[in-house]
Amino acid sequence: MAFSRDPLDELVVPDGTEAKEVDLVTDGDVLVGGRSTVEFGVRGRNVLAGEGVEFGGAIEAEADCRLDMWCEVAENVLVGQDAYIGERVHVAGEMKVAGDLDIGDDVEIEEGFEANGWIVIRNPMPTIVFLFVYLKHLLLIGEEQTAQRLVSELVDEDEGEEIDVDPLVIPKNATVSDDAWRVSTPATIGDDCRLHGNVRAETIDVGTDTTIFGSLRARGDVSVGEGTRIHGDLTTRDGDVTIAAGARVLGDVSCAALELGPDAEIDGTIRADGEITMGTTDREPE
């Protein structure tokens, strides 16, 4: 992780992420920036949410769960290891924690909670705030190697085993629902994903063999990977569009310049202010 950029300045949907009915399911961690609304439930390894995040479903974390103050969870919270819950968090269901539970003041859990380990009730500093303050202190005193090890332990390792799965990152002030994914940042969607909802972002980069049941709209460039299916329109305000080989857009495309790979398909109308470039399939040698 580079210290020069905010880890929550981009929507990142890792490879293999699926929207299954009411849940977002990923093999890696889930990181949600402050004041975002996620109308799905989430299932992942570690689940970390900033201040004032709203979840429209349940949270299932295989490892730890960290919810900062003022978070709202519409259903249950199930945690495989430890949970850290900030003050004034509201959980409409029950909370079950396999390990320790560190819980702040004025937390409301409507259907009760249980933990197999220690239960500590206090008013902790918000988890994400604490981590950034601690990292900043290490960098100020010149302990860059120590800071890098801390980030690796938090993001890349679990009980000594290295994790090579990228996290699902939802930036602050985002809205994620079955209707739309709205962010004011760039968006990167990985390979082999299956998502529902229109994607609205600064720029959009979609990987290979992904299916999106919704339209794509961006201010800047949009790229669609090989074999991907977009069930909706693709529109940019000022950017170019690249549609790779074998990809298909089941709707209209509006952009500045358009580049189409071999066997790419557009089922609707093309509106391009600039050049339209069409790739060809290489001939096999005779």
18-44 pLDDT, tens digit per residue, is: 998 789 999 999 999 999 999 999 999
At residue 201, does pLDDT exceed 80?
yes
150-155 mean pLDDT: 60
Domain boundaries, the chain: 24-171, 186-278
Spatial separation of the C-alpha atoms in residues 103 and 150, rounded to whole Å: 23
The pLDDT assigned to 280 comes to 65
Residues in Cβ contact with 252 at an 8 Å cutoff, skipping those fewer than 6 apart = 233, 234, 235, 266, 268, 269, 270, 271
Asked if 82 and 62 touch (Cβ cutoff 8 Å), the reply is no
Among 160-164, 198-202, 248-252, the minimum mean pLDDT is found in 160-164
Residue 263 has pLDDT above 80, yes or no: yes
Q: What is the pLDDT of residues 46-104, one digit of tens each?
A: 999 999 999 999 999 999 999 999 999 999 999 999 999 999 999 999 999 999 999 98
Q: How far is CA 58 from CA 22, 144, 258, in A?
A: 9, 37, 41
**pLDDT of 199:** 98
**Percent of the chain predicted with pLDDT > 70:** 80
Mean pLDDT of all residues in 212-241:
97
pLDDT of 165 reads: 77
